[in-house]
Chains A and B, each alone.
Chain A
Amino acid sequence: EPEVTQTPSHQVTQMGQEVILRCVPISNHLYFYWYRQILGQKVEFLVSFYNNEISEKSEIFDDQFSVERPDGSNFTLKIRSTKLEDSAMYFCASSEALLADGGSQYFGPGTRLLVL
C-alpha cells in the first residue's frame, strides 16, 4: 500500500539553526500538507500546497517557515531560525483531491524535532 514517508525520523538542532524536514508524498497525490503536534497536544495545521504554491497557511506558519517541492517527488518544510517552541512532531500529509471532493489526507510517520 502506498504511503507517505518522511526523513529524518528525529532531528536535534540548536536554537537559531536552520532545519529542513523532508517528505515523499504518495505518488499520484496532488495536494500536500504539513501539520505539527507539540508533545501532548493536538495536531495543528501549518500549511497546504498545490500546484507549486501555498494554498492555505495557519498563523503558526510565519516568515520563519517555508515549503518547497524541489522535484517531482519531494516536499520539504524549512524552518530558517529555529526556536525552542518549534520542538514538536512534524507530520507531512498528502491527498489525491481536495477535502471537499472526498480527498482524504494520508499522513507520514512524522519527524520529531527537538530544539535545544
Chain B
Amino acid sequence: GESVGLHLPTLSVQEGDNSIINCAYSNSASDYFIWYKQESGKGPQFIIDIRSNMDKRQGQRVTVLLNKTVKHLSLQIAATQPGDSAVYFCAERRRSGGYNKLIFGAGTRLAVHP
C-alpha cells in the first residue's frame, strides 16, 4: 500500500557534523510535508514544512529538500548538537487521502555523539 517511509532507522553523527535524514513517500498526490522532532516522552515538535511547489526551504540550521521526481524528502541539520538527538518524523498531507490529516512516517532516530 501507499506509505511514507524512512530509509534509515538510526543515524549516528558526531557533534558539529551535518546530519541528513531521509524520507521516501509513494503518493504523488501529496502536496505538503512537515518534519517533526520527537524527544523522549514528548509530543512531536514542528521543525519545518514545505509545499510541493517548492524544492527547498531553509530554516535556522535546518533545510528541507523535496525531490518530487523520485518522491524523496530530506532534512538537513547543520552543525548538529547534542540537543538535536531525537526521533525525526516526516509527515505528509495527501490531497486524496484526507483534507486536513497528516500521514506520518516510521521515524529515524538521530544520535549525536560528543
Report A's interface with B, CB cutoff 8 A: 4, 6, 31, 33, 35, 42-45, 48, 55-56, 58, 91, 93, 98-100, 102, 104-110
Q: B93–A48 contact, CB under 8 A?
A: no
Chain B nearest Cβ from A44, distance in angstroms: 7
Residues of A within 8 A of B114 (CB): none
Q: B34–A104 contact, CB under 8 A?
A: yes
Q: A99–B43 contact, CB under 8 A?
A: no
Q: A56–B100 contact, CB under 8 A?
A: yes
Interface-centre pick from B44, B99, B103, B106 (highest chain A CB count, 10 A): B44
Q: B104–A107 contact, CB under 8 A?
A: no
Q: A100–B36 contact, CB under 8 A?
A: no
* Contacts A108-B43, A109-B41 supplied; 10 other A-B pairs, CB < 8 Å: A4-B43, A42-B105, A43-B91, A45-B98, A55-B99, A56-B101, A98-B100, A100-B32, A104-B49, A107-B45
Measured CB to CB, the nearest residue on chain A to B49 is: A104
A-B contact count (CB 8 A): 66
Q: A45–B102 contact, CB under 8 A?
A: yes
B61 contacts A by Cβ under 8 Å: no
Chain B nearest Cβ from A49, distance in angstroms: 10
Q: B98–A56 contact, CB under 8 A?
A: yes
Q: How many residues of B contact A (CB 8 A)?
A: 25
Given the known interface contacts A99-B93, A100-B32, the answer about A43 and B98 at a Cβ–Cβ threshold of 8 Å is no
The CA-CA distance from A43 to B51 in the complex, in Å, is 21
Q: Which of B22-42 contact A (CB under 8 A)?
A: 31-32, 34, 36, 41-42
Which of A31, A42, A102 contacts B100, CB < 8 Å? A31
Q: B100–A48 contact, CB under 8 A?
A: yes
Given the known interface contacts A107-B43, A110-B43, the answer about A43 and B104 at a Cβ–Cβ threshold of 8 Å is yes
Q: B46–A104 contact, CB under 8 A?
A: yes
Measured CB to CB, the nearest residue on chain B to A109 is: B43
B89 contacts A by Cβ under 8 Å: yes
Residues of B within 8 A of A35 (CB): 102
